[in-house]
């Protein structure tokens, strides 16, 4: 099997399995208990948090551990809300775990602004300027698009925040950027940053939210007061430690260059007429293909029979018709229906991606012959 849907999830590193065993069977203690063994586990978690802050280039702040990026995004947005005539700003290109929260805020009577995307898939910063003001409470704009790989400029967005609404909270969904593209949060004004383990060869069920200032958030539910009273409940210790294991095995810069080479080799290997490669010149991990005259879903199933796994976009909305992001960028309905998402990981070989490109080209040519 050649797996090209790594933006949906990734295969877990073997080393994470041993970490899970250690912290589930040996160091299984509850970090909130008062035994020495429990306090040692609590210290281990604190070390992971310090380690992650260093990895994202944050000089100050804390890490809140959650069960998934959806929870991190919900905590960031709903936890930032305050009573009063505040305004909330989102890009139109957000993942469903942000976009659907924004729509719910709108339904509940909040003043919500959706900033359109440019043709390159990034948030239109000129339009962003128009909606920012002293009443802006929250800005939520993703780092890397899960659909196109387009990278939003956090430094420029930070400048706009400082200019028009310095007291606003800036949240970034960093799921497709964390440990994939080089960045330092210290070079931005980001207050909240979401990330997830299973996108970087860690386990499902553990994610995080970087919080620069805990006072900017309120708790969403009550409990034992763990994690600064912002996310009560016993921590998923084994998951947290597996997250550390996965992060420690990743060389971001080396992987970034490797994936660029893989993507270029893949693009060169696509040979069939009628296949349009859309490279938004962003993250090398994500690429969009459109197949003239053939549905993307048809290609997905035909390729699976040949041992190649691709995606139709966000796994959180794959069962819904259309693609909100591609439509926002300006693609037609026919183009959207004919598209698939290709997403790489840094541990693939060049032979794998060139073989996949040949299979994709051959399968498309075969389907096109049969339907014409």
Residue by residue, DSSP assigns 117-130 as B-TTSSB-HHHHHH
Residue pair 140/173 in contact (Cβ under 8 Å)? The answer is: yes
Residue pair 76/63 in contact (Cβ under 8 Å)? The answer is: no
Which is nearest to 262 in space by CA: 289, 291, 283?
A: 283
Which is nearest to 342 in space by CA: 263, 280, 265, 276?
A: 263
Runs of H (alpha helix) within 56-166: 69-80, 96-107, 125-131, 154-164
Residue pair 232/223 in contact (Cβ under 8 Å)? The answer is: yes
User: Helices 96-107 & 69-80, crossing angle to 10 degrees?
Assistant: 30
Cα 224 to Cα 164: distance, rounded to the nearest angstrom = 38
Residue 198 has what DSSP assignment? T
Structure tokens at 93: 């290109």
Q: Is 123 a catalytic residue?
A: no
Q: Any residues with CB less than 8 A from the CB of 355 and at least 6 apart, and which?
A: 2
What's the chain's Rg over C-alpha atoms?
A: 21
Find the distance separating the first CA and the last CA of the chain, reported in whole Å: 29
Instruction: Pick the catalytic residue from 68, 110, 165, 316.
Output: 316
Cα 134 to Cα 86: distance, rounded to the nearest angstrom = 9
Report in angstroms the alpha-carbon separations of 218 from 164, 228, 363: 24, 10, 52
Task: Compute φ and ψ for 211, nearest 5 degrees.
Answer: -130, 115
Q: Could you tell me whether strands 169-173 and 136-140 are parallel, antiparallel, or unpaired per DSSP bridges? A: parallel
- Catalytic (active-site) positions: 316
């Amino acid at each position: 099997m050649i797996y090209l849907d790594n933006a949906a999830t990734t295969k877990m590193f073997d080393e994470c399995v041993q970490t899970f065993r250690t912290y589930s069977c040996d160091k299984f203690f509850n970090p909130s208990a008062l035994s020495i063994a429990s306090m040692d586990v609590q210290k281990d978690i604190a070390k992971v948090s310090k380690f992650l802050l260093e990895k994202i280039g944050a000089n100050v702040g804390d890490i809140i551990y959650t069960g998934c990026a959806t929870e991190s995004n919900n905590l960031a947005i709903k936890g930032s809300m305050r009573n009063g005539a505040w305004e909330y700003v989102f890009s139109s290109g957000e993942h469903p775990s942000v976009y659907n929260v924004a729509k719910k805020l709108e339904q509940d009577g909040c003043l919500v602004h959706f900033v359109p995307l440019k043709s390159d898939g990034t948030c239109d910063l000129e339009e962003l300027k128009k909606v920012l003001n002293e009443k802006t409470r929250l800005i939520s704009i993703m780092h890397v698009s899960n659909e196109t790989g387009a990278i939003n400029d956090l430094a420029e967005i930070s400048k706009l925040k400082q200019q028009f609404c310095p007291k606003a909270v800036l949240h970034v969904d960093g799921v497709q950027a964390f440990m994939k593209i080089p960045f330092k949060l210290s070079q931005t004004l980001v207050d909240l940053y979401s990330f997830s383990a299973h996108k970087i060869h860690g386990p499902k069920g553990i994610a995080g939210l970087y919080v620069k200032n805990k006072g900017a958030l309120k708790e969403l539910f009550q409990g034992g007061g763990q994690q600064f009273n912002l996310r009560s409940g016993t921590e998923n210790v084994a998951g947290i430690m597996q997250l550390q294991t996965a992060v420690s095995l990743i060389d971001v810069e080396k992987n970034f260059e490797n994936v660029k080479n893989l993507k270029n080799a893949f693009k060169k290997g696509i040979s069939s007429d009628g296949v349009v490669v859309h490279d938004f010149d962003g993250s090398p991990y994500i690429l969009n293909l459109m197949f003239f005259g053939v549905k993307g879903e048809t290609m997905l199933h035909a390729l699976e029979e040949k041992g190649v796994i691709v995606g139709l976009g966000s796994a959180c909305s794959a069962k819904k018709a259309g693609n909100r992001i591609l439509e926002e960028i300006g693609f037609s309905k026919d183009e959207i229906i004919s598209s698939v998402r290709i997403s790489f990981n840094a541990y693939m070989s060049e032979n794998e991606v060139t073989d996949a490109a040949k299979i994709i080209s051959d399968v498309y040519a075969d389907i096109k012959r049969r339907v014409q």
